[in-house]
Structure 1
Amino acid sequence: MYKWAYGGWASAGIDAWTLGMEASAVIGLRTMKMAAGGTGAAEEARLMVSEKMQAALELQTALVSGRLGGDPLADTRKVLRHYRGKVKANRTRLG
């Protein structure tokens, strides 16, 4: 059981690192869009803030309603999956 648990956490760590790299790419794309100025930059800034607030609210709701569960590793994976979906959607939209 110990090896499975360690492997699970190691895998979650790699998933977190990958999410960080994907988020970094989105930050670069957003920076370029905002640097271009105009209405597109203003809309991107508004989207950035509202999406972050919405994503956090969704997770908070899942936590207080018990939808995250109670297993730390499984909960970590759910949180990573949640944010990865948001980051992927932004990367697709911006790229």
Structure 2
Amino acid sequence: MIRPSDWMSLAFDGWRLGAEASAVIAMRLAKLAAGDAAAMVEAQRMIAEKVEAAVALQSGALAGRLGTTPARRAKATIGHYRRAVAKNRKRLRRGR
């Protein structure tokens, strides 16, 4: 059974992931709008990173590294994507 406090924590973590991802989307759209060679590199990088993140999460799930309860698995999933989003935000802020 999932405690109400777990749901609140998950809801907040999910909201935070959405807010952080929205910032990264805005930065990426600005870069893609330029339509230059850097935009093409960013588009290719974006697709590769999304596939890599999904494969890594699936392999973690299959190996049992996400936890044993639904709340732990959800928290680990959100954490996995938050780390990827944070890495992108940092890179895009530097202008690379």
Query: Shorter-normalised TM-score: what interval?
Result: over 0.9
Structure 2 gap segments, 5+ residues each: none
Match of 2:68, SS? coil
Tell me how far apart the structure 2 counterparts of residues 92 and 20 of structure 1 sit (CA, whole Å): 16
- TM-score scaled by length of structure 1: 0.93
Report the count of equivalent residues.
93
- TM-score scaled by length of structure 2: 0.92
Q: Which segment is superposed worse, 64-73 or 26-35?
A: 64-73
Q: Which residue of 2 aligns with 1:80?
A: 78
Q: Which residue of 2 aligns with 1:26?
A: 24
Match of 1:66, SS? coil
In the TM superposition, what is the alpha-carbon distance from 1:70 to its structure 2 partner?
A: 2.1
Tell me how far apart the structure 2 counterparts of residues 94 and 49 of structure 1 sit (CA, whole Å): 15
Higher share in helix: 1
Q: Which residue of 2 aligns with 1:67?
A: 65
Tell me how far apart the structure 1 counterparts of residues 34 and 25 of structure 2 sit (CA, whole Å): 14
Q: CA RMSD in A?
A: 1.4
Q: Which residue of 2 aligns with 1:94?
A: 92
Structure 1 gap segments, 5+ residues each: none
